[in-house]
Amino acid sequence: MRTIWFHREYNRFQGGHLKHSHYFSHAGCMPGYVPRITFTGEPATETLARQRLELWPPGDAGAAADWAPRPDDLLFVAGVDWRYLAAGGFDALPNPRINLIQHVRHAHEGTELYGYLANRAVRICVSREVADAITATGRVNGPVLTIPNGIEAFSIRTFAGAAGSERRPVVIAGYKEPVLAKSLSDRLAALGIEHTLLTEFLAREKFLERLAGSRVAVCLPRAEEGFYLPALEAMAAGCLVVTLDCVGNRSFCTHDGNCLIADPTADSLAVTVQAALGLGANEGQHLRSGGADTVREYSLEAERRRFHAVLRDIDRHWLSRKMVPTGHPRVNFMIIGAQKCGTTALAHFLAQHPRIRMSSEKEPHLFDAPDYSPKWTPEQIDERYRPYFNSPGVTSSPDGTPTFSPDGTPTVGTEGTPAIGNRALDEGTSAGSEGTPTVGEEGTPTIGKVGPHTLRQTAADGRLRGEATPIYLFLPEIAPELKRYNPELKVIILLRNPVERAISHYYMEKNKGHERFPLWLALLVESWRLWRCGDRRQHGSAWRRHSYRRRGLYSVQLRNLFRYFDATQVLLVRAEDLARFHDEALKRVFEFLEVDDYTGIEAQTVFEGERGDRRHVVVSWLLRMSYLPEFIRMRRFRVAAARE
């Protein structure tokens, strides 16, 4: 049994104390571990003493007068707990340290917290933004992991249920921005809008009661926050949330998705509050439903699972030296195809790994751009990639492909988002029957295995950079350019039954208004369209829009790719496996990328695409017959790859 030693100095309630207590509780739920805590100082009031006991219940082991760590125990530090280590001489011990980082001010040069970054520890950041801020300093000693903050949604919903259906119009949580909150209060009073103004900290129960009893919650964060919990708590309480953009809520607050975001002025906030109060039933329910979905994603249970995953591997994390200097090139791996085979889903899942950073826009389309030049040096290509890894916010590509926010979350539901491929290759047949390709399975040892090409070059924050542009596999001239850019590049390819892929592609273009023909005619004239296409790189070209059957000729595309890339640099994944065997498929991808197996990524349908073979039975059968030679080529291709 290993003990995890905690320390706190508690003189008033703060969100940071609450999160610290959550990790104390998480440790107590982990088999093989027991948490113990030491307090500095005594609470000034009975209320504070009661709060401290509720936050950190002593349990069977009880509170400790002082730390007494054994050689294999862990030391958990947060904030200025490093002072306690230094005062007690514990900073000289070799025990693994876990450092909880809750605010971007740890990255502020010249501050006490900034100085502690040089102390060796396994750091857990409460948001991707915090992780980015501290790693950008170049001072971090040890691996940096991200576990998004979780909240006790059940207890908050209990307050909401007790409040009943009658709610006050507005509550202003302004204790972090009291001046702005007072100005807003004056504006609302002038408009005759009933509201409650909170500019001082309340006991947590009282604060949650105020949220649960209000229709609209105005949550005012500071410009810099590690993770702004009140906005998430207000969503859990069923409020319509009005807030400001800040570092601490950017990863989970979406304007018109789960909240309304105003400019940081009293006038803008007042207008936004009026808009929230004036929402119809459907619009209000839309925001509340979006908030409820967000709360489920940021649950305390998910946070606990992720922390337990860290504890299971803590000794390896402690011995790891993950901080790798910035090197060339910036992009270490790419998902290059095939279109409509689940590339969006895989990119979404990979973006949640703490050691991976996906491009802010899912498909940069850099190498297939009409203005791309083979004369560009790798350094010039890196400069063109830079905005996709530095720019904040959600962007969109010219052809309407889905885009990603800084934490890697896709704007789900964008037209043209590839399907996750969550059906069998052929209804009623097993994988591999009728010549269906069965690539990437066990027994194909040379494809996707760790070999001489390793991902040694990472970004300054220690994370691998990746992007996903599915057309790269389809256009043959791109493979040599990818190899020239990064000789050690690793590429991931998802493959789906080509009949399903073609029909899904057709409906994507039809829904966009790019296809006027029925399916049978579009397939019939496809070759003619491609033949008469002048420049296939141009936006809107037939090669981009109408290559329904051609893109399913996987063997041609793979043979071209393997002319330039070693088999150890390529991983083939079936779309069906990603959906049906989610954890196993991701584990293969993580092994291929040489990153830790990360268990905090839950299976979900990112986008449900159109299958259509049941609607087009005859056309599907004819299309399948046309693919029979391709099925045979893919089977031979797999056998040949296994023999190499």
Three-class secondary structure of residue 570 per DSSP: strand
Report the C-alpha gap between 137 and 119 in whole angstroms.
14
| Three-state helix/strand/coil letters over 284-298 | HHHHHHHHHHHHHHC
Domains of the chain: 2-146 (3.40.50.2000), 153-297 (3.40.50.2000), 330-643 (3.40.50.300)
Residues of the chain with pLDDT under 70: 60-62, 153-166, 226, 321-329, 390-462, 598-600, 602-614, 637-644
Closest among 273, 279, 275 to 189, alpha carbons compared: 273
Which regions of 245-403 does DSSP assign to beta strands (E)?
260-262, 333-337, 356-358
CB atoms within 10 A of CB 91: 16
- CA angle (378, 380, 385) in 5-degree steps: 90
Q: What is the pLDDT of residue 100?
A: 96
Tokens of 120: 């060796």
Which regions of 274-426 does DSSP assign to beta strands (E)?
333-337, 356-358
Q: What is the pLDDT of residue 153?
A: 59
Closest among 286, 295, 276 to 236, alpha carbons compared: 295
Please answer whether residues 123 and 106 qualify as being in contact, where contact means their C-beta atoms are separated by less than 8 angstroms. no
Q: What is the pLDDT of residue 33?
A: 94
Please answer whether residues 530 and 549 qualify as being in contact, where contact means their C-beta atoms are separated by less than 8 angstroms. no
Q: What is the pLDDT of residue 598?
A: 63
Three-class secondary structure of residue 548 per DSSP: coil
- SS3 percent helix, strand, coil of the chain, rounded to 5, is 40, 15, 45
Residue 1 exposure: Cα atoms within 13 Å on the Cβ side: 10
DSSP H helices, 495-627, are 498-512, 519-524, 526-532, 542-545, 554-562, 575-580, 582-593, 617-626
Q: How far apart are the first and last CA of the chain?
A: 48
Report the C-alpha gap between 568 and 324 in whole angstroms.
23
CB atoms within 10 A of CB 25: 16
